[in-house]
Amino acid sequence: MKTIGLLGGMTCESSLVYYKLINEMARERLGGHHSAASVMVSVDFGEVQPHMERGEWDRVMAVMIETAQAIERGGADFLVLCTNTMHKFAEPIGQAIRIPILHIVDATAREIRQAGRDTVGLLGTRFTMEEPFYRDRLREPHGITALVPDADDRALVHRVIMDELSRGIIDPESRRAYWRVIDTLASRGAQGIILGCTEIPLLVTQDQGRIPLFDTTTIHARAAVDFALKGTGS
- Per residue in 12-62, pLDDT tens? 988 999 999 999 999 999 999 999 999 999 999 999 999 999 999 999 999
Active site residues: 83, 197
- Per residue in 123-144, pLDDT tens? 999 999 999 999 999 999 999 9
How far apart CA 80 and CA 162 sit, in angstroms, is: 22
Percentage above 90 pLDDT, the chain: 95
Peptide bond into 217 cis (omega under 30): no
Cβ neighbours around 80 below 10 Å, total:
27
Q: In order of start, what are the domains of the chain with their CATH numbers?
A: 4-103+219-229 (3.40.50.1860), 104-216 (3.40.50.1860)
Please name which of 159, 185, 154, 194 lies closest in space to residue 173, comparing C-alpha atoms. 159
